[in-house]
Amino acid sequence: MKQFTTRQIVLLGVLLQASITLVHAPAQAADYANQHAYWTCMVAAIVLCLPIYVVLRIRRRFPDQDMLQAIVSSHPVLGRMLLSVYLIIFLIIFARDLRIITDLVQVTLLPLTPIVVISLIILLTLVFMAKGGISTIVNMTEVFVPLMILTLLTMPLIFGRNMDFAVLRPFLHPDVGGVVKGSWRMLGYMADIMMLPFVIFGKNYSPRSAWLGHLTGTVFLVLIVLLAELVIGVPILSRLFYPSYELARQLQVTDFLDRFDLFVGALTVPTLLTKMGFDLYVISLTLKRMFAPAWGNLIVWPVGLLGYVCSFMLFSNIVQIYEFSREWTVVMVMFFVFMPFVLWLLLRPKRKEEGGGDRPSGEKQDNRQKDQLGGRTGHAHL
Amino acid sequence: MNKVFLLPLVLSILFMYLIDRKSLNAAPAVNRWISRVLYVISIGIWIYGTSTRSSVYVATWLTRFIDMWLPPTL
């Protein structure tokens, strides 16, 4: 059954690929690739085309299942072991994102509030978002991602003469080693787009929506990095911790809107929250698929709390997360770039038993009763 | 981080347990076990994390381990 439109999947792809990447990665890219920082997004995007192509091939074999279901149904034991590894990876991604956002909110919006309180408030929002199911997250994406893109498109109009195109010179003499290093760090964040097929697969994840989402996310990132270079300048950009926030701080719309960055921040933070809501949803869904009869919506809060604890206990401080992106990319490349190839070779749908297509009417009635119960307790969403 | 901040964690566990109480009783038993195990792991990690030295973080030893295999060009 087709549940989501192409536009929704495209926006979800942009959200996963571009939102957290904007926080730290442009500074790292500029640090290594200098004036060619915007190339790093393109190189990482080209690498990501391979797993997307492979995942689309797998999708044809499982038209009615998400990838987690496909893994478990074709290899019940080995599949569950693989899912437990993915669970840990998703958990680390969630913990990393939660720590990044908590720190960003503390630095920019709530400097006097204790970090634990900020983190718990954010977690509470995410839990209710994930409990609402994928449709809540998709609807939030539909509201906030277009706003984020619209803000980007209006930025060049406001910056106007502040943009200095001389910083891009020389255009065609790249430091290849630097570009590779920058792309490596960029890839670690951009590979989050490969989390999408774990949730939305089958008929919803059409080739058109997958490629368009990837393309739009890449163009968005290239434009943001390019704007940051043009407005802030490469030497300063490479030394910033929150380059996109600094970019928004450069916006000045006449005298009466001096703190325009607060407005941009108020638009960007919900986008980042939606991305983390998706992270939390993926973790809960993975656990639900591993322990088949479990209700997903009751798993969300324990998993969220575990992610909250991990966000403080895995990393000593935010600088470690910044430095960690070099090593973390290895894990992302192994499990989000190479693992789809392995899954492509191994995953085969089980042949249906004779006469399995016709369900007895009693079973249908059971399912209807289950749906009614799910509506009352809320677990039908997840 | 110190052990004082374990209190908000325990309070939020209690808060959510009270909210989900009825659904948890109606859900399959595996749900209750997942919740309990995850809560215990969370509290355990917090206590372990606050009682060790600051250099012993998962990211620290993960960084060291991956660094051994990573070429210096990256």
- Interface ipTM: 0.93
Q: Which of A171, A107, A151 is nearest to A263 (CA)?
A: A151
- pLDDT given for residue A371 in this prediction: 54
Name the DSSP letter for residue A333: I
For residues A314 and A100, give the distance between their C-alpha atoms in angstroms, rounded to a whole number: 13
Contacts of A327 in chain B (CB under 8 A): 62-63, 66-67, 70
CB atoms within 10 A of CB A125: 15
Contacts of A310 in chain B (CB under 8 A): 45
What number of C-beta contacts closer than 8 Å exist between A and B?
114
For residues A120 and A115, give the distance between their C-alpha atoms in angstroms, rounded to a whole number: 9
Amino acid letter for position A103: D
Shortest Cα distance, chain B CAs vs residue A353, angstroms: 28
- pLDDT given for residue A164 in this prediction: 87
Q: In terms of CA atoms, which chain B residue is nearest residue A318?
A: B59
For residues A343 and A66, give the distance between their C-alpha atoms in angstroms, rounded to a whole number: 13
- pLDDT given for residue A255 in this prediction: 66
- CB-based contact B59 A299, cutoff 8 Å: no
- CB-based contact A313 B1, cutoff 8 Å: yes
Contacts of B34 in chain A (CB under 8 A): 287, 291, 294, 299, 302
Q: In terms of CA atoms, which chain B residue is nearest residue A116?
A: B5
Contacts of B69 in chain A (CB under 8 A): 330
- pLDDT given for residue B55 in this prediction: 64
Length of chain B equals: 74
- CB-based contact A298 B66, cutoff 8 Å: no
Q: Where are the domains of chain B?
A: 3-67
CB of B14 within 8 Å of any CB in chain A? no
Q: Which of B34, B63, B73 lies nearest to residue A299, judging by beta carbons? A: B34
CB of A180 within 8 Å of any CB in chain B? yes
Substitution target in B22, B38, B39, B48 with the highest count of A β-carbons within 10 Å is B38
Phi, psi at A170, each rounded to 5°: -75, 140
Alpha carbon distances (Å) from A304 to A107, A128, A211, B57:
23, 10, 31, 20
Contacts of B24 in chain A (CB under 8 A): 298
Phi, psi at A134, each rounded to 5°: -65, -30
Q: Which of A287, A316, A373 lies nearest to residue B34, judging by beta carbons? A: A287
For residues A37 and A238, give the distance between their C-alpha atoms in angstroms, rounded to a whole number: 10
Q: Domains plus CATH for chain A?
A: 6-350 (1.20.1740.10)
For A214, residues 6+ apart whose C-beta sits below 8 A from its C-beta are A13, A17, A45, A48, A49, A52, A193
Q: Which of B46, B63, B69 lies nearest to residue A324, judging by beta carbons? A: B63
Alpha carbon distances (Å) from A2 to A10, A50, A130, A140, A189:
15, 25, 21, 19, 29
What residues in chain A have per-residue pLDDT under 50?
Answer: 354-364
- Grouping H, G, I as helix, E, B as strand and the rest as coil, residue A257 is strand
- pLDDT given for residue A90 in this prediction: 95
Cβ atoms of residues A159 and A33 within 8 Å: no
CB of A159 within 8 Å of any CB in chain B? no
